[in-house]
Amino acid sequence: DKSISLLFVPTQGGGMEIIMKKKISVIGSGGWGCALAQLLSKKGYEVVLWSWTKEESDRIKTDRENKVCLEGIKLNDNIKYTYNLKEAADADLYVFAVPSHAVSGTSKAFSEFAKKDVIIVNVAKGFEKNGLKRLSTVIENNCVFNPVVVLSGPTHAEEVARGVPTTIVAASADLGIAEIVQDVFMNDKLRVYTHDDVIGVELGGALKNIIALCAGISDGLGLGDNTKAALMTRGLAEISRLGIEMGARSHTFAGLTGVGDLIVTCTSIHSRNRRAGILIGKGMTAEEAQKEVKMVVEGVKAAESAYLLSKQYNVEMPITEAAYKVLFENMLPKDAVFSLMNRDKKSEADFTEAGWL
C-alpha cells in the first residue's frame, strides 16, 4: 500500500514503526487548522500551515498566533507558513481544515498539485451546499487519487491547542488507512479512535451544529436547562433519523461523533454556534450574529442543507425545520418554540423503535 509506505517503515522484528520526521501540510489556518498544526509540530512532524491569502499567512507568521480564531495560543517556532498550494502539496500527509463552504473550491484547486496516494484528512464539518454532498465525497470527487479520512468528534480548537485531554474519531471505510491517521494524531492528550461508518461520523459532526445553534437561541431567550435537554435529546433523534435514511449505522450516533460532539457544542462557551444562537435569541438576525461572532458559524449553513435533505429523504425533523424558518424565513425564535411545543402528540418510543438504541 503506497499510502502506508509514506508513514511507516519495517522494523528488524518484522513489525512496522511510524516515521516521526515526515512533512504534513495543514490546509487552512483558522482555529482548528492552527490547533492541529500545533499538535502535530509538537509530535515532531515538519508542519506547513497554508492560508487562503498572503496577508493572513504573513500575519500569522509574524504574530505566531491567529488572533481572530485562536487568540492567546502561540504557535511553535518550527511551523512553516505558505499561501501557495503547490508548495503545500509537497508533503506526506494533507489535513484539510477549511470551512465547509470552501472545501469544494479548495480541493478542486489542490487536486492539480496533490501527490498521488497521499492521505487527505478532512476535519471540516458540514455539507456542500449546491449538491448537498458530504464533504469527504466532495474531496474524493476532486482528488481522485487520494484516500480520504474523516477526523471528527467533540474537539474545540481552543482546548486541543492547550493540551486539554480530548477524544476524536478517524473514520474511513478502509480501517487500515484510519489506523495510520490514528497513529499520526494520537498522543497523551489526544486519544484517537477509529471507525468505518464514514456517513454516520460525518453527519453527526455536521448536524449537531444546528442543534447547538438552537441551544444558544434557547439560552438567548432566557429559557432553562429543561429546554436545552429537550433540544439535545430530540435533536439527536432527528440526526439519527436522517442519518439512518442516508445509510449510516444507528449506533454511531451514540458515540463520540454523535452524542459526544452534540454535548460539547451545545454547552461550551467555546462553541461559535451556541454563541451565535444566543445573539439570535436576544434579537439579532442570523447575519448580524455571524458578524458579531467573527468566525464561520457552520450551523447556519448546515440548517439549510439539512432542511433540504429532510425533504429529499422524507424525514421528519421539526427542530431543524424551526431553525430553518428562524434563519431564512424571519420566524421569531419565540414563535418557533411555540410551534415545537404545540405539535401533534408523539410517543417517545418512536425514538428507540427507529433503531437508535
Which residues in 247-277 are b (16+ Cβ under 10 Å) and which e?
A: ebbbebbbbbbbbbbbbbbbbbeebbbbbbb
Query: What distance lies between CA 5 and its chain's CA centroid?
Result: 28
Q: Which helix (H) or strand (E) holds 94?
A: strand 93-96
Helix (H, G, I), strand (E, B) or coil at 311: helix
Cβ pair 200, 175 in contact under 8 A: no
Residue 10 pLDDT > 80? no
CA atoms 18, 20, 26, 31: torsion sign: positive
Across residues 277-282, what is the average pLDDT?
Answer: 97
Weakest mean pLDDT among 120-129, 273-282, 286-295 = 286-295
- Note the pTM of the prediction, 2 decimals: 0.90
pLDDT digits (tens, 9 = 90+) for 235-274: 999 999 999 999 999 999 999 999 999 999 999 988 999 9
Confidence grade of residue 3 (pLDDT, cut at 50, 70, 90): very low
CA atoms 220, 70, 30, 209: torsion sign: negative
Instruction: Give, in order, the Cα–Cα distances in Å from 265 to each of 214, 234, 253, 256, 262.
Output: 11, 15, 15, 12, 5
The pLDDT, as a whole number, for residue 269 is 87
Across residues 6-23, what is the average pLDDT?
Answer: 53
To the nearest 10°, the Cα dihedral for 225, 227, 228, 229? 80
Determine the longest span between alpha carbons in the chain, in angstroms: 68
The pLDDT, as a whole number, for residue 349 is 81
Residue 60 pLDDT > 80? yes
pLDDT digits (tens, 9 = 90+) for 314-325: 999 999 999 999
The pLDDT, as a whole number, for residue 5 is 39
Other C-beta atoms closer than 10 Å to the C-beta of 145 total 10
Among residues 74, 116, 208, 228, the one annotated as catalytic is 208
The pLDDT, as a whole number, for residue 296 is 83
How are beta strands 166-171 and 148-152 bridged, if at all? antiparallel
Percent of the residues in the chain that have a pLDDT greater than 70, as a whole number = 92
Beta strands in 97-203 (DSSP E): 120-122, 148-152, 166-171, 190-195
Nearest Cα to Cα of residue 50 among 113, 4, 141, 128: 113
Q: What is the mean pLDDT of the chain?
A: 92
Confidence grade of residue 351 (pLDDT, cut at 50, 70, 90): low
Residue 105 pLDDT > 70? yes
Which residues make beta-bridge pairs with 127?
Answer: 134
Residue 357 pLDDT > 60? no
Confidence grade of residue 353 (pLDDT, cut at 50, 70, 90): low
Active site residue 311: no
Residue found by looking up cell 451514540 in the block: 254
The pLDDT, as a whole number, for residue 13 is 52
Across residues 327-352, what is the average pLDDT?
Answer: 90
Confidence grade of residue 311 (pLDDT, cut at 50, 70, 90): very high
Across residues 12-38, what is the average pLDDT?
Answer: 79
Cβ pair 69, 47 in contact under 8 A: no
Across residues 213-231, what is the average pLDDT?
Answer: 97
pLDDT digits (tens, 9 = 90+) for 181-208: 999 999 999 999 999 999 999 999 999 9
Here the cell at position 95 is 489535513
DSSP state string for 248-279: --GGGGGSIIIIIHHHHHHH-TT-HHHHHHHH
Instruction: Give, in order, the Cα–Cα distances in Å from 317 to each of 77, 134, 216, 240, 307.
Output: 47, 19, 18, 10, 8
The pLDDT, as a whole number, for residue 226 is 97
